[in-house]
Amino acid sequence: GYLACSMLLYDNQEVLSLIINLLKLDIAKGDEAFQALAMHTIANIGSEQFAENLVPDLLKKLQSPTPAYIKRKAALCILRLYRRCPDVLEMEEQSQWVERMVQLMRERDIGLLTSAAGLIIGFLETTEPAEWAAVIPHVIAVLQDIATGHSFTNRHRYYDVPAPWLQVKLMRILQFFPPRCFDHKDVNHLNGLLNRLLEASEQQGSMFP
């Protein structure tokens, strides 16, 4: 059913209002397979109706003791709906959104961190970056884990570079912030991490001409 909806329905059709309650039910109480299918449908259609009615349910998934891959899908759905309807940020106080992003950056699952970084980038592209400055120490902490090899297995490496796509997204997040958002300690720490990551990448590059 969800596959058919994803393929046949568009974001401006009135019939979408008829499946919102079903989506809510599956996100809240369905098993993981139905939760995943519901989120695929939300992301594929990405209507304003979905944004207005389903973002609170998706946010609850991010905070619940849910498997990482479900949280990852929830983060991607929120990003899709935010790009369709930026007003979703007004559903909660700015401080609450920032705290949610901080909590996501404390996760250890690489896929979830990558999705969370993409969501933060989506917010930073259209809002005042300084409002999200609280995420900076946590972004640096993840880069620290990458540089030291903590929490990263071989399956997260590409040509022996740990989580390169996550590295790129984390560095892009930091690019949005003006210098005043970084304290002296953060700058020194970040410079050391970047030097370490660059040296590691150069060493690996010399091994694969």
Strands of the chain (E only): list them. 157-158, 161-162
How far is the C-alpha of 200 from the C-alpha of 147, rounded, in Å? 9
Task: Print burial letters for 131-151: b (CB count within 10 Å at least 16), e (below 16).
Answer: ebbebbebbbebbebbbeeee
Give dist(CA 127, CA 132) in Å, integer.
9
Given a cut of 90, whether residue 43 has pLDDT beyond it is no
Residues 158/164, Cβ–Cβ less than 8 Å: yes
Nearest-angstrom CA–CA distance, 54 and 66: 17
Q: Which residues pair with 162 in a beta bridge?
A: 157
Mean per-residue pLDDT of the chain:
81
User: Which is more confidently placed, 115 or 66?
Assistant: 115
Query: Tens of pLDDT along 84-106?
Result: 888 888 877 888 899 999 999 99
Q: Give the pair of three-digit tokens for residue 81.
A: 């709906």
Residue 136 near residue 174 (C-beta atoms within 8 A): yes
Q: Which tokens sit at 86? A: 């930026």
More confident residue, 4 or 116: 116
Q: Over the stretch 9-30, which tens digit does the pLDDT of each residue have?
A: 555 556 667 778 888 888 887 6
Span 172-177, mean pLDDT?
Answer: 92
- pLDDT at residue 207, rounded to an integer: 47
Say how many residues make up the chain: 209
